[in-house]
């Protein structure tokens, strides 16, 4: 007893993804497939996510004036922009990723201003202006901790620390925003 094995290009097997078998009519395949799946909250539209992260990151440079809260708000703002544009609720993990992306944008914009200061050795002028601004707001600028923190802002290790700092805090803000922006289920 011999079994005939059809070739790859024959009518019984689909050689490619877009080829159909002649045994099943196209109408029957379309009717059985049902409606396309609804978008779920477990995936993100990358184009919308990039736009939301860029918008939040640019605003985050200005919001970053608030020391810790500004970067957390930047991550939350990215999730808010994404939800407003797409209408989808993101799970906390994707909210954290989107917030982290906004934190990276904040870092990149700040690095664009900080790297030329480091390269052209203009740290002292910038430190003097930061000290003047801090004194206007009543900060004690004579403490060694303040002096060390301001000097570390304009070093490569300070930039690396700010990158990690911005990424973590913005991710936290994105995760929190995705949890708080979830629709509430009213009790019956």
Give domain limits for the chain: 46-180
Tell me which residue of 121, 117, 141, 122 sits closest to 131, measured CA to CA. Answer: 141
pLDDT of residue 36: 41
pLDDT at 21: 46
**Block means of pLDDT (10 residues each) for the chain, length 188 residues?**
54 49 50 45 84 96 88 96 92 96 96 87 86 88 88 87 95 96 75
The predicted pLDDT at position 62 comes to 92
Give the pLDDT confidence score for residue 139 in this predicted structure.
85
* Residue 163 confidence (pLDDT): 95
| Nearest in space to 165 (alpha carbons), one of 149, 181, 144 | 149
């Amino acid at each position: 007893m011999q079994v005939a094995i059809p070739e790859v290009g024959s009518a019984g097997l689909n050689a490619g993804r877009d080829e159909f078998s002649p045994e099943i009519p196209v109408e029957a395949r379309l009717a059985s497939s049902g409606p396309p799946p609804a978008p779920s909250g477990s995936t993100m539209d990358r184009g919308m996510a990039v736009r939301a992260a860029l918008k939040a990151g640019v605003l985050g440079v200005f919001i970053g004036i608030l020391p810790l809260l500004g970067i957390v708000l930047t991550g939350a703002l990215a999730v808010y922009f994404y939800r407003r544009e797409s209408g989808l609720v993101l799970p906390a993990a994707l909210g954290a990723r989107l917030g982290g992306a906004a934190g990276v944008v904040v870092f990149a914009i700040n690095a664009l201003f900080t790297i030329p200061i480091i390269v052209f050795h203009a740290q002292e002028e910038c430190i003097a202006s930061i000290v003047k601004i801090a004194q206007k707001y009543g900060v004690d600028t004579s403490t060694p901790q303040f002096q060390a923190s301001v000097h570390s802002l304009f070093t490569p290790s300070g930039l690396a620390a700010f990158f990690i700092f911005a990424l973590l805090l913005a991710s936290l803000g994105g995760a929190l925003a995705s949890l708080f922006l979830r629709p509430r289920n009213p009790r019956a």
